Amino acid sequence: MALYPSVLELIGNTPLVDISALSPNPLARLFIKLEGQNPGGSVKDRVALSMVEQAERDGILVPGKPDQILMEPSSGNTGIGLAMVCRVKGYALKVVMPTNVSIERRQLLELWGAEIIESPGSEGSNGAVRMARGLAAEHLEWVFLYQYGNRANPQAHYEGTGPEVLRDCPGITHFVAGLGTSGTLLGVGRYLREKLGESIQIWAVEPPSGEMVDGLRNLDDGYIPPIFEELGGADLLDRKTVVRPRESIEWTRRLTDVGVFAGISTGAAVAGAIKCAASLGVDEEASIVVVSADGGWKYLSTGAWTDDIDEVTERAKGIIYF
């Protein structure tokens, strides 16, 4: 179909591309799911639409009713996806976002008409979550969808991303994705585990954000998304690996060799997939699917592709890219 009644119909059904040319292991095929192809530019379009439509079904949001305000903490992509969905549907949106995100993330929120409420950059996303929870308690008239605790987040991946992955790569053996809210891993992971049992390995990739977020007063300021605990995330994952900023940038650059222009978190996820490919046993064949959360457009200002790698790496330590 080439004619759509609304841009929101373009969310999902993203392409899967063979990038085995980057695999260090000839027996390990590598496929990347390009979530940057969503109309709002990231995987979070799925989550935004899923949460808003669930709230409409629950009567929390009423289509067409004036003066409905949503408020959400986000390091960027969920805020941008929600801002696009809200603009199309006629809702107002306030996004609580740390100050240390790329300038393009702010610009995109502004162009969709969202109001940005700044939280301290030194506290990272944890600080944005804390501030948003406080604001939600003060403003009961605002709709707080709360992506970290909203089951419509992983459900979007259980119903959409997961079936798409299996449809396009029926021989999948490993699924690799970044761990932010844990929605992608929970939704796709549970779907694949139900369909393929223990033959599928679920790998999570994290940036060393906790090292860079220096505003934590103590470790009790740490944060685990409620959906991760409620839906048994720890039992679902087989491996979790940390990928450092330099490696993330290196793989973000390497991806251009196969024509993929993706965000810095994709570089991290691909680095994780490469570790996965390198960890296989002798004669073990694998089909590894890795998620590219967004395209590279929002990170041009970081100089990630063109500037000196040491300088870019230092800069990346100061911004939130997950």
Partner 1 sequence: MAAEVRLPTVLRAHAGGASVVTLSGATIGEVLGKLVAEYPGMEGQVVQADGSLHKFVNIYVNDDDVRYLQGVDTPVPDGAEISILPAVAGG
CA–CA separation, 231 and 234 (whole Å):
9
75 lines the binding site for partner 1 (CB under 8 A): yes
| 261-280 binders of partner 1 (CB under 8 A) | 265, 275
Q: Is 216 among the residues that bind partner 1 (CB under 8 A)?
A: yes
Candidate list 37, 54, 77, 248; residue touching partner 1; CB under 8 A: 77
Tokens matching residue 243: 């990928």
Is 312 a binder of partner 1 (CB under 8 A)?
A: no
Would you give the distance in Å from CA 167 to the centre of its chain?
Answer: 21
Binding to partner 1 (CB under 8 A): which residues in 104-133?
124-126, 129
Distance of CA 287 to the CA centre of its chain: 22
Hey, how many other C-beta atoms are within 10 angstroms of the C-beta on 87? Answer: 17
With CB under 8 A as the contact rule, the residue among 20, 99, 100, 241 that binds partner 1 is 241
Nearest to 18 by CA among 259, 232, 221: 259
CA distances from 260 to 25, 26, 248 (A): 20, 20, 14
Active-site choice (44, 74, 125, 182) = 44
In the bound complex, what is the minimum distance in angstroms from residue 47's beta carbon to partner 1?
Answer: 8
Among the options 23, 42, 265, 292, which is catalytic? Answer: 265
Assess 322 for contact with partner 1 (CB under 8 A): yes
- 210 binds partner 1, rule: CB under 8 A: yes
For residue 170, the minimal CB distance to partner 1 (Å) is 26
- Is residue 242 classed as helix, strand or coil in its secondary structure? strand
Scored b (16 or more CB within 10 A) or e, 228-253 reads beebebeebbeeebbbbbbbbbbbbe
Residues forming the site for partner 1 (CB under 8 A): 44, 74-75, 77-78, 124-126, 129, 147-148, 178-181, 183, 206-211, 213-214, 216-225, 234, 237-244, 265, 275, 320, 322
Catalytic annotation, residues: 44, 265
